[in-house]
């Protein structure tokens, strides 16, 4: 059993800036800095993993690898493999990883529907809704199969609910798609019950709580733990 109360202090401005400076070009650096400053998901993930077993992390749809950089900066990384469809983001993430010696992060171009072999914790931050409903259930099962004993499956996603936050999220996704910032479009927003219905029969204990920070979006943190 690991100490679940060992919550690290969120990275301060200096720590966030150190990460952002590793990325190539003003645009990626600005994006990384803004995202780390405004999105509470990285600090929430660090808090969870600080109290979890010291396993490596498979980050599905890793984008720039910001989660790996954040965990490394907090001294909480025990190995990291990030995979993403978007070659531009992987390339920028590799350059940032190479700024650390020896590079503690591995980033690979790949599709979430074809996960590599892995054993540890698994993260999926804002990725699930880019897959169709059936693809999501299949991905949750293959991700769960990669959890080590006491492994944590950490998912942040917008959940489908009849409220204005959900509609604000759909407008934002439409903008990301038409502006070319996202190469794939949203396909299906899961409901909380759908997530539980897939994860709990796999023997995982599931908790779901809002994680929006100061954004208007309907984001939740779903944590599924494999018993020891
Ligand atoms: C909103 S971004 C989140 C990036 C990262 N998880 C983070 O929190 O910084 C969503 C990412 O999912 C990736 N993605 C979407 N569908 C994917 C798939 N089928 N396989 C791998 N990556 C995918 C996109 O390329 C994009 O980088």
Please write the tens of the pLDDT for every residue from 26-81.
999 999 999 999 999 999 999 999 999 999 999 999 999 999 999 999 999 999 99
211 ligand 1 Cβ < 6 A: no
143 ligand 1 Cβ < 6 A: no
* pLDDT for the residue numbered 172: 82
Instruction: Evaluate whether residue 7 is within a structural domain.
Output: no
* pLDDT for the residue numbered 101: 83
CB atoms within 10 A of CB 115: 18
Of the candidates 72, 152, 157, 146, the residue with the CA atom closest to the CA atom of residue 114: 146
125 ligand 1 Cβ < 6 A: yes
* pLDDT for the residue numbered 10: 87
Residue from 127, 154, 177, 213 whose mutation best tests the ligand 1 pocket (most atoms within 8 A of CB): 127
Structurally, the chain folds into a number of domains equal to 1
Instruction: Evaluate whether residue 179 is within a structural domain.
Output: yes
Residue ranges of the chain whose pLDDT lies below 50: 1-5
Cα-Cα-Cα-Cα torsion 114, 73, 220, 58, nearest 10 degrees, comes to 20
Instruction: Evaluate whether residue 4 is within a structural domain.
Output: no
86 ligand 1 Cβ < 6 A: yes
Instruction: Evaluate whether residue 3 is within a structural domain.
Output: no
Domain CATH code at residue 213: 3.40.50.150
* pLDDT for the residue numbered 7: 59
* pLDDT for the residue numbered 88: 95
* pLDDT for the residue numbered 174: 81
- 80 is in which domain, residue-wise? 13-225
* pLDDT for the residue numbered 5: 40
> Residues 148, 101, 87, 44: is their CA dihedral positive or negative?
positive
63 ligand 1 Cβ < 6 A: yes
Q: What is the pTM of this model?
A: 0.93
Residue 55 DSSP one-character state: -
């Amino acid at each position: 059993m690991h100490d679940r109360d060992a919550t690290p202090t969120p990275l301060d401005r200096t720590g966030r800036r150190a990460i952002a400076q590793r990325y190539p070009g003003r645009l990626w650096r600005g994006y990384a800095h803004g995202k780390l400053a405004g999105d509470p998901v990285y600090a929430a993930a660090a808090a969870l993993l600080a109290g979890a077993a010291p396993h490596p992390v498979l980050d599905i749809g890793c984008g720039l690898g910001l989660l790996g950089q954040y965990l490394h900066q907090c001294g909480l990384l025990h190995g990291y493999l990030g995979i993403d469809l978007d070659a531009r983001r992987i390339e920028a993430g590799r350059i940032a990883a190479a700024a650390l010696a020896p590079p503690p992060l591995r980033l690979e171009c790949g599709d979430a529907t074809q996960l590599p072999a892995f054993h540890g914790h698994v993260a999926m931050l804002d990725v699930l809704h880019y897959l169709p409903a059936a693809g999501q259930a299949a991905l949750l099962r293959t991700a769960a199969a990669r959890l080590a004993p006491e492994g944590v499956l950490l998912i942040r996603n917008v959940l489908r609910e009849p409220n204005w936050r959900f509609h604000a999220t759909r407008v934002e996704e439409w903008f990301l798609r038409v502006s070319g910032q996202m190469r794939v479009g949203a396909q299906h927003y899961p409901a909380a019950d759908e997530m539980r219905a897939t994860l709990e029969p796999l023997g995982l204990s599931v908790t779901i709580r809002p994680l929006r920070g100061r954004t208007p979006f309907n984001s939740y943190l779903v944590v599924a733990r494999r018993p020891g």
